[in-house]
Structure formats: C-alpha cells, structure tokens
C-alpha cells in the first residue's frame, strides 16, 4: 500500500557559506492515511521546514516528497497551486485568516477557487461552522473573534474541501491551555470520525499527549519515532 506521505532523503539548506544552516538532513518519513502524527522537537530542529516541504510550500534541495504517490517537489506554478488547493489543508500558528473576509467567507474561499457552486459552498460552510462550534458567528470578521475562535475558523477552512491531509504548524502556540485543548479535541474527533489525516509540528505537550505517533526531530535529523 502506498503511504499518503513519503519523504525520501529530503534535505533543505538555508543560507550560504558560514551562515549556512542545514534545516533538514536526509530525512525520510512515511505517513499513512488517517494518522494523527506530531513532529516534535525544539525550535530550529526543522519541524516547520519539514511541514512546509510536505505541504509543497517549499522545495527540498535534495530528495523527493510524495503525496498520494505524486512527487510534489517536481510540481510548480498552477499545478502545484491546484494540488495544494485540492489535497492539503493548512493550519498556521498565527491563524492567518484574511482579515477583510468574514468567518464564513474565509471558510468559503478555497471552495470558491475549486469552482464549487454558491449553494453547495453555503451548505458546506454551515456544516463546518457547526463542527468547529462557531455557528452564529459566521458574519464576524477575524478581528471580532477571539484567538481560539480564529483558529477554529482556520481549522474549518482547512477541512472544508475534504483534503487528503491537514498540516498544522504549532496550531496551539498562540492559544491559552483551555482553548488549545478544546481545539485539539475538535481535531481529534475529526480524525476519528472522518478519518482525516493530521500532521502537526509542535512542542506543545497537549498535542504530544494526544498524538498517536510522535516523530522527534533534532538538528534536521529524525532522532526517534514513537507510537502511543
């Protein structure tokens, strides 16, 4: 069976000369569909870089990154944009919602890019708002929502198109403990009920406790892996 994600000997270097930093060094990792995996490590260990490579936001200097059997490291332009749009959902540490769009419009945006009809979009937006517990707040703009509510919108946006995988880069870093747990419970439930694959980059204990698989990174190398 082909793994959902497969990185083979992936390296990524930033800078040059004395300022050169090897963010990832020959990292090989496979993730199966339906996993709830956390890439764990201290700051600068290469977690976010690996997540960005898996998500096609960055390209490796060497190695391949396959998602659903397709090497996304070779993709560029519209093909890569479309691939990200249709297969990957992103959740960022800083929420990164579009401030001038309402919660509903933020969720709707990717579906619009996919050419989904307005009627279907509306139904899906309502469904997603219900799932993340934000029913009734659809018209609020990000500035009118709390940090936790904004991150819920980000989760809803990431899931709205039923992507193959959701990549979450330190999703709880800007949230208080209670809000973070509440959000993680939502994601965990989605993983269990809908079979959505989640990959986190984190050093948050709350995520580490809930993840089924932990991949420890240090200095750009996989230090160890654990199943919980």
Partner 1 sequence: MLILRLAWRNLFRNIRRTVLTCLLIASSLLTIIVMDGVMLGMIDVMISGLTHTLEGEAQINSKGFRDDFEPSLRLSNYQEIQSKLMHDPVVQGASARIIVGAMVASTHNNAGAIVYGIEASTEENVSKIADAVYAGSFLSGKEREIMLGRPMAELLEVELGDRLVLTSSTVDSKEIVQELFRLSGLFEFGPETLDENLIFINLTKAQSLFELPGAAHQIAIRFKQPEVANDPGLDLYKSFNDDSTEANGWLVLQPTMGAMLEMTGYTTFIIGGILFLLASLGIINSMFMSIYERIYEFGVLKSVGTRPANIIKLILTEAFFLALISCFFGLILGYFISVYFSTTGIPMGRMEMSGIVLDGNINTILAPYQFISFPIFVTLLTLIAAIYPALFASRIVPTEALQKAL
Structure tokens at 200: 């986190």
Cβ 184 to partner 1, closest distance in Å? 21
Which of 28, 61, 99, 185 is close enough to bind partner 1 by CB under 8 A?
Answer: 99
Residues paired with residue 67 on neighbouring β-strands, in sequence order: 5, 70
Task: Identify the CA nearest to 54 among candidates 38, 71, 42, 40.
Answer: 71
**Residue 23 near residue 218, CB atoms below 8 Å:** no
92 counts as binding partner 1 under rule CB under 8 A? yes
Residues 130-159 that bind partner 1 (CB under 8 A): 157
Query: Which residues ranging from 55 to 74 are in contact with partner 1 (CB under 8 A)?
Result: 55, 57-58
As given in the structure block, the two tokens for residue 199 are: 């990959």
Round to whole Å and give the CA distance between 159 and 161. 6
Partners of residue 201 on adjacent β-strands? 39, 169
Q: What does the block give as tokens for 10?
A: 């992936």
Residues linked to residue 71 through DSSP beta bridges, in sequence order: 66
Residue span binding partner 1 (CB under 8 A) among the ranges 31-39, 67-75, 103-111, 216-224: 103-111
Q: Cβ(67)–Cβ(86) under 8 Å? A: no
Give whichever of 82 and 189 is closer to partner 1, judged by the CB atom: 82
Q: Which stretch binds partner 1 (CB under 8 A): 24-32, 60-68, 75-83, 205-213?
A: 75-83
Residue 108 CB, shortest distance to partner 1, in Å, is 7
Q: How many helices (DSSP H) and strands (DSSP E) are in the chain? A: 7, 10
Report residue 63: phi and psi, to 5°. Answer: 95, 175
User: Binder to partner 1 among 26, 96, 164, 179 (CB under 8 A)?
Assistant: 96
**Rule CB under 8 A: which of 165-224 touch partner 1?**
none
CB of residue 22 to partner 1, shortest distance in Å: 16
Q: Contacting partner 1 (CB under 8 A), which of 37, 45, 93, 172?
A: 93
Which region, judged by CB under 8 A, interacts with partner 1, from 35-43, 94-102, 192-200, 220-228?
94-102
Chain residues 17-56 in contact with partner 1, contact rule CB under 8 A: 52, 55
Cβ proximity of 12 and 45 under 8 Å: no
DSSP 8-state secondary structure symbol assigned to residue 72: G
Total residues contacting partner 1 by CB under 8 A comes to: 30
Residues in contact with partner 1 by CB under 8 A are 52, 55, 57-58, 77-78, 81-86, 88, 90, 92-94, 96-101, 105, 108-110, 112-113, 157
């Amino acid at each position: 069976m082909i793994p959902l994600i497969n990185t083979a000997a992936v390296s990524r270097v930033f800078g040059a000369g004395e300022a050169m930093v090897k963010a990832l060094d020959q990292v090989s990792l496979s993730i199966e569909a339906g996993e709830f995996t956390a890439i764990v490590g201290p700051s600068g260990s290469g977690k976010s870089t690996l997540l960005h490579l898996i998500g096609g936001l960055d390209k490796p200097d060497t190695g391949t990154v396959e998602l659903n059997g397709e090497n996304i490291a070779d993709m560029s332009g519209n093909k890569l944009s479309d691939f990200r749009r249709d297969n990957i959902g992103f959740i960022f540490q800083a929420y990164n919602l579009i401030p001038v769009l309402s919660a509903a419009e933020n969720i709707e945006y990717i579906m619009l890019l996919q050419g989904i009809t307005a009627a279907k979009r509306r139904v899906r937006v309502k469904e997603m708002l219900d799932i993340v517990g934000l029913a009734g707040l659809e018209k609020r703009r990000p500035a009118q929502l709390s940090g936790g509510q904004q991150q819920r919108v980000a989760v809803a946006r990431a899931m709205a198109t039923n992507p193959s995988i959701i990549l979450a880069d330190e999703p709880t870093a800007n949230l208080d403990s209670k809000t973070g747990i509440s959000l993680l419970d939502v994601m965990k439930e989605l993983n269990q009920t809908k079979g959505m694959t989640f990959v986190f980059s984190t050093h948050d204990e709350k995520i580490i406790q809930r993840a089924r698989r932990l991949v420890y990174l240090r200095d750009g190398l996989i230090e160890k892996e654990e199943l919980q």
